[in-house]
Structure 1
Amino acid sequence: MAVDPWFQNWHPPAGLVNTPPFNPFLSSFESKKTYQNKSSIHDLKHLSARGPDNILPYLLTLSLVKHRPRYERYDRKPLEISGPFKTWYHWNVLDFDYTLDERAEAIAFEEFIPENNLPLGVEIYKDRIFISMPKWKPGVPVTLAVLPRIPREASPKLKPYPNWKWHKHDTCDGIVSVFRVQADSCGRLWVLDSGLVEVTIEPKQICPPKVLVFDLNTDKLIYKYVFPPEFIKQDSLYSNILVDIRGNKCENAHVYLADVWRFGLVVFSWEKKRAWRVTDHLFFPDPLAARYTLHDLEFDWTDGIFGLALSPYDTNKDDRLLYFHPMSSFREFYVKTSVICNETGWMDVKNAFKVMGQSRGPSGHVSTSAVDRNGIMFFNMVTRDTVGCWDTRKPYKRQNLGIVDQNPETLLFPNDLKIDQDHRQSVWVISNGLPYYLYRGLDTNKINFRVMSAYVDEAINGTICDPNISYPSVFIEHSGDDCY
């Protein structure tokens, strides 16, 4: 395929990705100027000389102040530190919140086979961490669990979310097999249930895929969307989910769901309670990127569209970009969300799906990616034991792709990645050595799974991803239509 020259020097389309000016990140104590206002301090000193009637209004005002939780106040030391990443949880094998008798019974009936359980997806919302465990193999009793954000122990037993009953249904009313979840800014947890079990043996679609929406304030189900038959192709596997909310318009949400094995994208409108399936040839795997090498292990995957990430919302254009890539590919692609959110018109837009700049190069396989509110993309390079980054203001060229951390032990196959919603954002990663689990089995005598995080400002500090760092060769001027 001929490659146009602009592919080599891609930058975000002019006028669409207008990310806000990059502000210096605040420390955990934020603005110290608050404590340097001498006149305010002087006024407070005289409060003690006043009567209760005069002091009461000040006390009432203080009681109404809503304090943002500061999780870093807790003096819990990380288990490991690698670059900017701190490991908060790790496991040799997973265990669940059974009673002793229940656990023994589950093992006896092979409802729980410890070495068959593998954590895949991670999500963070306020003081909780959510972990998904698809049913790759038999003996996986729980497919979605929750942990406290502040660790109390290094390798805790996982608590089923929202409770055990949801995981013990013999019908499709329960939660069957979850690959990934996402919490939105409106306090909802979107759960993508593939309905597919025993993927590594002989995949069985025992229930249709569905999306379950839980209220995170009550942990009650508020909506369920079951995929219609026309969305379920032979060997479909819905494995990734991304929620698109602009501002605080919670009722106008769109959800993007990737079919990694049959190369499609389902778009669900929360307002309309409808969905449609979008297809494009860029969703397909690249046959030249289907061979993987992870240390001493070689394997072939032909996985299509998988990674999904959103650019910051442009209020002037009322639009944003959906970045995407197949798992078996070395390239990144994008489409305007205004195109795919048009149920009947997306097919009429010519060349709507576009290729970005340069290839990431050999072994440039990326699983998941996410963009922070300042327009910095983070991504997992699974066969390089690496978390990378890219400032979306800069051309998508290899010299503009930074390395946040590379570690063959702690980042052995970094599988999922999320950015939390905190004021000072963090990037969270779960590593799980997935190919070893699939093809050789895990060594239960060593640590196999890790949940870790890094503050975004610390992760990009000094890298090419830092918007405060620019090199003369980085920025290339284009007219507004050069990228189309």
Structure 2
Amino acid sequence: MLLSWNRLNWNFPDEAMKYQFEANQYWKHAIPTGVKIDKNGTIYVAVPRWSEGIPATMNRVVVKDGKAILDAFPSWKWNQAGNIDLLQSVMGYEIDECNRMWILDQGKIAYAPSKPGSQKLIIWDLNSNKMIDCIRIPDKIASYRTSFLNDIVVDNKNGFAYITDSGNGWPNHPIVGGIIVYNMKTKTFRRVLDQNFSTQDFPNFQFDIDNRPVNNKFGVDGIAMSADRSTLYYSPLTGRNLYAIDTMVLRDYTIPLEEISCHVQSLGSKSTTTDGMCADNNGNVFYTMLEGKGIGFYNSRNGQFHKIISEDRMVWVDGVSFDQKGSIIFNNNRFNQVYENPQTQIDWSYPYNLVIWRAFLDKNIKSYLYGSSSQCY
């Protein structure tokens, strides 16, 4: 265990903001999703604005009065809700081998439609602490109403990035899942596998955690890339199958959309629903186990699925990444309980409601990003 909280708290810039946060109990819907560590050991935490009152959606962990709390990243100004040019709601992001953060802004707050221009990909240089680029994601690529921009992987070797759109941004509406391809050279997007069987929720699929049904429906969620950048792995949350596709097919914008689905490979069942995924430099794809309450991995060399770790406190294991020192970093956030209506299951005094875990695997295991030489676009 690396860090744990009974609830999240911030290093607020003023007392008025802190008072509103506490008085309205906004913390009851503040949960960490993506957790990553940069080359300097700084821990970053995304807290999406799926409800009103989330102080900052992109954060770093700081220590104040001996306690680990969150501070807005890159600044409080950059986390101003309602300003489409700033960060609105971040769930997925990546820190590449060039020490740049690729921040995927969902755009929408509390599931309202994204305002035009709010959905975007921001590239931030962690070395200079400056924005490199801001690329807007238009409605025709990710619907302002139905989109739910989830996670991202980066391929600097070939100059592409890949984004999952879970397609559940409109509650009580059919899922509209798909994968978004971004060409770094041309700065253009292409939506592929839109409402394909592999990016949709599995029909009539139901699952439980701790014998309690999870009623949320999600399309494609977890995404990972092989170290040689040749294979993209992905999985819908509402379903157990792992899928793969050759990135060469996705990089060629001349291939008709209807032909791309012919290249989808079904790799089999993980025997669990999955949220986040990440591949290493050695041919393994690590995935969170929601039903299994832990972490598993797929060995691409022999096509086998394995369980690594499981623990009763790992309720809704959300994201998994690497610290480049031989360990995986992952977190659990009780999403299924926090967003249950009414919220009845949580003891907010329990010190392990929200946990960041670290598990050492092998000193030579690193992220997929460090498995092949590349350049920075």
> Normalising to structure 2: TM-score of the pair?
0.85
Q: Does 1:374 align with 2:282?
A: yes
Describe the superposition over 1:288-317 as per-residue Cα deviations: whole angstroms up to 9, x where unpaired. 43x12111421223311111111120xxxx
* Equivalent residues of 2:103, 2:121 under 8 A apart: yes
Structure-to-structure mapping, 1:341-380, within 5 angstroms: 341-345=251-255, 347=257, 348=259, 351-356=262-267, 358-361=268-271, 364-380=272-288
What's the counterpart of residue 190 of structure 1?
102
Going from structure 1 to structure 2, the CA distance change for 1:349 and 1:326 (only over 3 Å counts) comes to closer
SS at 2:277 equivalent: strand
What's the counterpart of residue 227 of structure 2?
312
Structure-to-structure mapping, 1:151-166, within 5 angstroms: 155-166=67-78
* Equivalent residues of 1:340, 1:346 under 8 A apart: no
Q: Does 1:287 align with 2:195?
A: no
What's the counterpart of residue 268 of structure 1?
182
Query: Higher strand share goes to which structure?
Result: 2
Query: Higher helix share goes to which structure?
Result: 1
Report the Cα offset of residue 349 of structure 1.
5.2
Structure-to-structure mapping, 1:172-183, within 5 angstroms: 172-183=84-95
Q: Distance in 1 between matches of 2:89 and 2:260?
A: 35
Report the Cα offset of residue 104 of structure 1.
4.2
Q: Does 1:407 align with 2:308?
A: no
Aligned letter for 1:123? K
What's the counterpart of residue 235 of structure 1?
146
Q: Distance in 2 between matches of 1:458 and 1:413?
A: 27
Q: Does 1:448 align with 2:361?
A: no
Select the residue among 427, 445, 452 that pairs with 2:328. 427
- Matched residues, number: 347
Structure 1 unpaired stretches of 5+: 1-86, 247-251, 314-318, 461-484
Q: Distance in 1 between matches of 2:138 and 2:64?
A: 43
Aligned letter for 2:122? L
Going from structure 1 to structure 2, the CA distance change for 1:104 and 1:330 (only over 3 Å counts) comes to closer
Q: Does 1:128 align with 2:42?
A: yes
What's the counterpart of residue 107 of structure 1?
21
Q: Distance in 2 between matches of 1:456 and 1:273?
A: 37
* Equivalent residues of 2:320, 2:330 under 8 A apart: yes
SS at 1:379 equivalent: strand
Q: Percent identity over the alignment? A: 22
Q: Distance in 2 between matches of 1:436 and 1:294?
A: 10
Q: CA RMSD in A?
A: 2.3
- Structure (1 or 2) with the larger CA radius of gyration: 1
Q: Does 1:218 align with 2:128?
A: yes
> Normalising to structure 1: TM-score of the pair?
0.67
Q: Does 1:119 align with 2:32?
A: yes
Q: Distance in 1 between matches of 2:210 and 2:204?
A: 19
Q: Distance in 1 between matches of 2:94 and 2:256?
A: 25
Describe the superposition over 1:32-72 as per-residue Cα deviations: whole angstroms up to 9, x where unpaired. xxxxxxxxxxxxxxxxxxxxxxxxxxxxxxxxxxxxxxxxx
Work out which structure has the larger RCO, using CA pairs closer than 8 Å and 6 or more positions apart in sequence: 1
What's the counterpart of residue 62 of structure 1?
none
SS at 1:157 equivalent: strand
* Equivalent residues of 1:389, 1:404 under 8 A apart: yes
Structure-to-structure mapping, 1:454-465, within 5 angstroms: 454-457=359-362
Q: Distance in 1 between matches of 2:312 and 2:88?
A: 32
What's the counterpart of residue 417 of structure 1?
320
Structure 2 unpaired stretches of 5+: 168-175, 366-377
Structure-to-structure mapping, 1:196-215, within 5 angstroms: 196-199=108-111, 203-207=112-116, 208-215=118-125
Going from structure 1 to structure 2, the CA distance change for 1:98 and 1:304 (only over 3 Å counts) comes to same
